A = this chain, B = another copy of it.
């Protein structure tokens, strides 16, 4: 039984959509236990309002809510009884295998570091959302709050991202690309130039070289490695440009009577195309490298995204991703253990 703690109070559509998604995930799978964290009475009332079955979930009470505008670290310190702090403590104490929140990004990232803690050997836990491409999906790593990364951080991102794509998404031998302003090895800023040869030397990852941002939507790599500032720009431009283009297409389609009729006929097919490019279809972004799975879903997450996020947590836990990350990042220790057990045998 896998236990997924869900922040019932975080996000623009909390608690309604969060609870709706949690109930639907709990109904679909009987190998999980969903734990809703937040104001107990609010949660109970909402489940009742939705006509849901309270016995499908557990509720853990948390009185406070961390707001998006609050300073993350200060908020974590002051609001010990907030849904984020209480949920993360469940994870820390082994009472949950995963924790998802659509609440304050800063607080979720800081909480992952400060409350849940890093796996041994992890320098920085990266936030790694899945983004849609022409060919399917890619993992964009890092989009977190830890900007000004070092080359060694990026190498770890490549390793952790490869493990995720292979074991959670099922991509064999995932292609790792380094975001750069040209494909040649000598191109780029100081960080990219330093990172390239390090990635090239890694025998355990399938490094395909530099990729230009133009190639990301074409699906040029399965794991897109970059430091958090650029990653954040890529993710947000993806969202912004997608919504702007769709807005402009709709405006164009509504501009004449004939185009309006045409739009009506083309709508179902268009909708399908657009859905494939909707970032919210792919669940939340895991904060990799913590002692326990922390997943950040969009602030605007609706029930479908919450549902998908919870199901992702199952695969993550079943595939023992954290153990695999620890082994990959501590190869010497791992070799020692193998030698020890070989000696014992």
Residues in A lying within 8 Å of B, measured CB to CB: 133-134, 145, 147-148, 179, 181, 188-190, 192, 212-218, 228-230, 232-245, 247-249, 251-253, 255-256, 258-259, 261-270, 272-274, 276-277
Q: Flag if B229 contacts A217 (CB, 8 Å).
A: no
* Bound form: Cα–Cα A235–B216 in Å: 13
Q: Flag if B261 contacts A265 (CB, 8 Å).
A: yes
Q: Flag if B244 contacts A241 (CB, 8 Å).
A: no
Q: How far is the CB of A112 from chain B (nearest CB, A)?
A: 17
Closest to A192 in B: B229
Q: Flag if B233 contacts A241 (CB, 8 Å).
A: no
Closest to A105 in B: B182
Q: Flag if B277 contacts A245 (CB, 8 Å).
A: yes
Q: Flag if A244 contacts B134 (CB, 8 Å).
A: yes
Closest to A179 in B: B233
Q: Flag if B270 contacts A134 (CB, 8 Å).
A: no
Partner of A229, one of B181, B249, B256, B270: B181
Q: Flag if A252 contacts B272 (CB, 8 Å).
A: yes
Instruction: Work out how many copies of this chain go into the complex.
Output: 2
* Bound form: Cα–Cα A215–B233 in Å: 10
Q: Flag if A256 contacts B277 (CB, 8 Å).
A: no
Contacts of A218 in B (CB 8 A): 240, 244
Query: Among A189, A238, A266, A268, which residue has the most Cβ atoms of chain B within 10 A?
Result: A266
* Bound form: Cα–Cα A245–B341 in Å: 53
Q: Flag if A188 contacts B229 (CB, 8 Å).
A: yes
Q: Flag if B262 contacts A237 (CB, 8 Å).
A: no
Q: How far is the CB of A274 from chain B (nearest CB, A)?
A: 8
* Bound form: Cα–Cα A179–B270 in Å: 32
Partner of A240, one of B148, B215, B242, B258: B215
Contacts of A266 in B (CB 8 A): 252-253, 258-259, 262-263, 266
* Bound form: Cα–Cα A242–B273 in Å: 14
Closest to A149 in B: B189
Closest to A276 in B: B248
Partner of A213, one of B133, B212, B233, B265: B233
* Bound form: Cα–Cα A218–B213 in Å: 20
Q: Flag if A213 contacts B232 (CB, 8 Å).
A: yes
* Bound form: Cα–Cα A188–B233 in Å: 11
Contacts of A270 in B (CB 8 A): 249, 252-253, 259
Query: Among A181, A188, A242, which residue has the most Cβ atoms of chain B within 10 A?
Result: A181
Contacts of A273 in B (CB 8 A): 248-249, 251-253
* Bound form: Cα–Cα A238–B216 in Å: 11
Q: Flag if A237 contacts B236 (CB, 8 Å).
A: no
Q: Flag if B237 contacts A188 (CB, 8 Å).
A: no
Q: Flag if B269 contacts A252 (CB, 8 Å).
A: yes
* Bound form: Cα–Cα A251–B265 in Å: 15
Contacts of A255 in B (CB 8 A): 269, 272
